[in-house]
A and B are shown apart, each in its own frame.
Chain A
Amino acid sequence: MNNQRRNVLKSGSGAALLTVLAAAGIIKPGMALAEWNKAAFDAKSMADTLKAMGVGSPVDSKDVQVTGPDIAENGAVVPVGVSSTLPNVTMVAILIEKNPNALAATFTLPEGTEANVQTRVKMGQTSNVYALVKSDGKFFMATKEIKVTLGGCGG
């Protein structure tokens, strides 16, 4: 527990600045919609996506949950949810490793919004689905494999 707190403090200055910048960008009046991160959404592999998002090396965490079916019959509509009990979660992302572009969606959570979002995604084939969560400026990750019987990208 304490170790984690030290780490947060250590990485605090840089991360805090980022948070402030992000908050300023999002809350700025007249700017209704955040800037779409093209590089991250265009990236093909998991590694490239994380790089484009400015994520170093996320830590696997039991406090992050990916919910979804074990087997999805229809890859075009796979219900996926991400929840976390970590404090101060400001960002949640859903990544699907074997999709043409790994990043499916990112969510910005202002203060007061719970780290609990659900959506539906397309999956081309059986793949690991990653939930990436930013808590106190650090990144955490969890994985769930979802088997797909009928792909959702070919048609």
Chain B
Amino acid sequence: MAANPMKIRASNKDGVTEVKVLISHEMETGQRKDASGAIVPAWFITELTAKHNDRLVLGAEFGTAVSKNPYLAFRFKGGAKGDKIVVSWKDSKGETRTDEAAIA
């Protein structure tokens, strides 16, 4: 289900690291109906964290209004080439996923 890894791109320029994350997730709102008219239950990412070398650089809470396959971009000061960026999320079913990437 939550099998597809996140795509994480991090690049450092002039001392600022820009991180872009693309997550593979359905983000069901719980308001959509399937072909038979039954409501598709809500299933979405609720929480997300991004860490740079074990230091939190972004915390996020999502509602159902975040698009399917969520995209996220943010910038923080610091970070050097080769440093690790670790992104984790948890969804409303309690599933979690963690992926990491090195700063380019």
**Interface flag for B80 (CB, 8 Å):** no
A101 touching B59 in the complex, CB below 8 Å, given contacts A33-B90, A116-B75, A118-B72: no
CA A32 – CA B16 in complex, angstroms? 24
Residue from the list A79, A101, A112, A118 in contact with B57, Cβ < 8 A: A112
A105 touching B31 in the complex, CB below 8 Å, given contacts A33-B88, A116-B75: no
Contact at A101–B64, with CB atoms within 8 Å? Answer: yes
| B interface: dominant SS | strand
A33 touching B49 in the complex, CB below 8 Å, given contacts A106-B61, A122-B65: yes
Within the complex, the shortest CB–CB distance from B94 to chain A, in Å, comes to 11
**Interface flag for A46 (CB, 8 Å):** no
Binding site for A on B (CB under 8 A): 16, 27, 29, 31-33, 46-49, 55-68, 70-78, 88, 90
Q: Which 3 A-B residue pairs are closest in the complex by CB-CB distance?
A: A108-B59, A104-B65, A120-B67
